[in-house]
Amino acid sequence: MIEKAREYLQHYFGYESFRSGQEAIIERVLAGKNTAGIMPTGGGKSICYQIPALLFPGITLVISPLISLMKDQVDALVHNGIEATYLNSSISASEASMRMNDIKQGKYKLVYIAPERLDHSAFQQEWQHMNLSLVAIDEAHCISQWGHDFRPSYLKIKTLLKELPSKPIVLALTATATPEVTADICQSLGIDNETTISTGFARDNLFFSVVKEENRDQFLTRYIEKNKQESGIIYAATRKDVDLLYQRLQKAGIQVGRYHAGMNEGERSFMQDQFIQDDLSVMVATSAFGMGIDKSNVRYVIHYQTPKNMESYYQEAGRAGRDGLDSECILLYSPQDMQVQRFLIEQSHPDPERKEEELKKLNKMKDYSFTEGCLQAFILRYFGDANPEDCGHCENCTDQRHSMDVTTEAQMVLSCMIRMGERFGKTLISQVLTGSRNKKIEEFGFGRLSTYGIMRQQTAKEVADFIDFLTAKQYIEMTGGQYPVLKVTHSGKEVLMGQKQVYRKERKQVAALTMDNVL
């Protein structure tokens, strides 16, 4: 059958050979095995169900949350001579029932549906009579409550599959899944762990960097000015931030659009279309933007604030460079934003275990921002790759600065923390180390500690940054929610006892900040 699959790849799609992962996934599906496929964005997941669809006798049902892409995908298939259709909220009830009749009569090889359709009781009745050979689940991480984009409708898939008289093969596809989420997908859909095919998450054409020692507004305008001809997305955390940035960039003469859930549908799709057609070069948006946008020439994605976890970050950043050309993914880090995110997590989850989990994920974003190792490798490790290679082209891999021995400074910080009883946060610790005078320091009598003021040649901000660096290196751990308490870890104790050296890259020379005069 795989020979036939290759033939179809050429005949219907015009491609010479399968890409890494595609053939292995298709082979398993054709052998009748439930399969999970993990491939990066742009890796070519669609072919993995489109080719088997042509080889199977019955219908291939594709469940996808990307409603805005369905029409284009179906049009492209029809253009290639493959019978396909879709059912989602964009078509009328009478059109849907006409299509349903054709589907039951076996007129189509591929049928795309939005997951919400599974909630309709009429559909639940009808799909029993659909003669399904394959059910492909796109963006399968939406099935997991641990995923960042959980959709309750996805949970229906499991029950509905069980009730089906014809037992179709199940293929789950995603580009973002930690090992826990993958296990969840497999368990929910009855997929053996050994039929999980992962080509890894690496995207060789993405260049990652973190900006944290520079004024972000100034950085942003300078960057956009310099890349005026290119297409880019700027993600901001709130609607207010989006509006503000939009106005500023517009004033600076940039062809910019905006997108958030507070705008009306017409305005949003107008902006989106303009961006897709390259009439606007920059889109400022909340995370509401991007799912289902198939724009291949996005040259950069800038995060104005730190997202709440790595899953969201990698998915949003991954919208750059779908065409395979070099593209940049830049995170603008600010400690205040971390505080806001922490507050939001505190407020939003009543379940303490869940809260703890979310806070841990947020802290990983901070570690990402402060690591001096390869950024791509950091991300791959997060997604379960035990031994990723350094990418060789991210900000850290190309950083030529020398590493300095900062063991003594690290010992100063760690011993001060222990003297203060490991009950406080970064701000107070840096104030004690730099010899600040304030009420709290007086109240606790920290002015009498031998470590009081031993780092007074540095500013409290510099010391706070150094504490973040030590946290990213895991010499310090953070516990607690909105006002985290810092504790010395086991490996921090080894530094204190002189059993471990600490190295840090020389600080960057940051140009004097003249703030806001550019925007």
Judged by CB under 6 A, the stretch of 16-24, 398-406, 416-424, 456-464 that binds ligand ADP is: 16-24
Note whether 43 binds ligand ADP by CB under 6 A: yes
| Nearer to ligand ADP among residue 43 and residue 257 (C-beta) | 43
Q: How far is the CB of 294 from ligand ADP (least distance, A)?
A: 7
Provide CB contacts within 8 A for 504, sequence distance 6+: 372, 403, 404, 406, 466, 469
| Nearer to ligand ADP among residue 176 and residue 286 (C-beta) | 176
Task: Give the H/E segment covering residue 174.
Answer: strand 169-174
| Nearer to ligand ADP among residue 139 and residue 465 (C-beta) | 139
Note whether 44 binds ligand ADP by CB under 6 A: yes
Judged by CB under 6 A, the stretch of 37-45, 217-225, 250-258, 361-369 that binds ligand ADP is: 37-45
DSSP per position, 23-87: HHHHHHHHTT--EEEE--TTS--HHHHHHHHHHSSSEEEEE-S-HHHHHHHHHHHHHTT--EEEE
Hey, is 209 helix, strand or coil?
Answer: strand
Residue nearest to ligand ADP (CB): 44
Number of neighbours of residue 229 by Cβ within 10 angstroms: 7
What is the separation of C-alpha 200 from the centre of its chain, rounded to a whole number of angstroms?
15
Q: How far is the CB of 220 from ligand ADP (least distance, A)?
A: 28
Measured distance between the N- and C-terminal CA atoms of the chain, rounded to whole angstroms: 60
Residue with tokens 């760690």: 414
Judged by CB under 6 A, the stretch of 12-20, 83-91, 105-113, 410-418 that binds ligand ADP is: 12-20
Note whether 198 binds ligand ADP by CB under 6 A: no
- Dist CA 235 CA 467 (whole Å): 27
Question: Crossing angle for the helix pair 22-30 and 46-55, nearest 10 degrees?
Answer: 30
344-383 as b/e, with b when 16 or more CB fall inside 10 Å? ebeeeeeeeeebebbbebbbbbbbbbbbbebbbbbbbebb
Judged by CB under 6 A, the stretch of 45-53, 182-190, 226-234, 478-486 that binds ligand ADP is: 45-53
β strands within 239-315, DSSP E: 256-259, 282-285, 298-303
Q: Annotate 446-513 with three-state secondary structure.
A: HHHCCCCCCCCCCCHHHHHHHHHHHHHCCCEEEECCCCCEEEECHHHHHHHCCCCCCEEECCCCCCCC
Helices (H), 127-214: 152-163, 179-189
Note whether 18 binds ligand ADP by CB under 6 A: yes
Judged by CB under 6 A, the stretch of 43-51, 139-147, 190-198, 380-388 that binds ligand ADP is: 43-51
Length of the chain: 519
Query: Could you say which of 34, 35, 46, 195 contacts ligand ADP (CB under 6 A)?
Result: 46
Query: Could you say which of 39, 113, 191, 496 contacts ligand ADP (CB under 6 A)?
Result: 39
Judged by CB under 6 A, the stretch of 41-49, 113-121, 473-481, 504-512 that binds ligand ADP is: 41-49
Beta bridge partners of 224: none
Note whether 195 binds ligand ADP by CB under 6 A: no
Q: Which of residues 465-484 bind ligand ADP (CB under 6 A)?
A: none
Q: How far is the CB of 19 from ligand ADP (least distance, A)?
A: 4
Q: Which two tokens stand for residue 271?
A: 């902006």
Query: Could you say which of 4, 11, 19, 507 contacts ligand ADP (CB under 6 A)?
Result: 19
Count residues binding ligand ADP (CB under 6 A): 12
| Nearer to ligand ADP among residue 76 and residue 263 (C-beta) | 76
Note whether 47 binds ligand ADP by CB under 6 A: yes
Note whether 65 binds ligand ADP by CB under 6 A: no
Note whether 42 binds ligand ADP by CB under 6 A: yes
Q: Are 303 and 245 in contact (CB under 8 A)?
A: no
| Nearer to ligand ADP among residue 141 and residue 473 (C-beta) | 141
Query: Could you say which of 28, 45, 248, 258 contacts ligand ADP (CB under 6 A)?
Result: 45
| Nearer to ligand ADP among residue 25 and residue 441 (C-beta) | 25
Q: How far is the CB of 278 from ligand ADP (least distance, A)?
A: 18
| Nearer to ligand ADP among residue 45 and residue 366 (C-beta) | 45
Note whether 373 binds ligand ADP by CB under 6 A: no
Q: Which two tokens stand for residue 248?
A: 């500023």
Q: Are 103 and 111 in contact (CB under 8 A)?
A: yes
Judged by CB under 6 A, the stretch of 38-46, 240-248, 275-283, 353-361 that binds ligand ADP is: 38-46
Residues within the interface to ligand ADP (CB under 6 A): 15, 18-19, 22, 39, 41-47
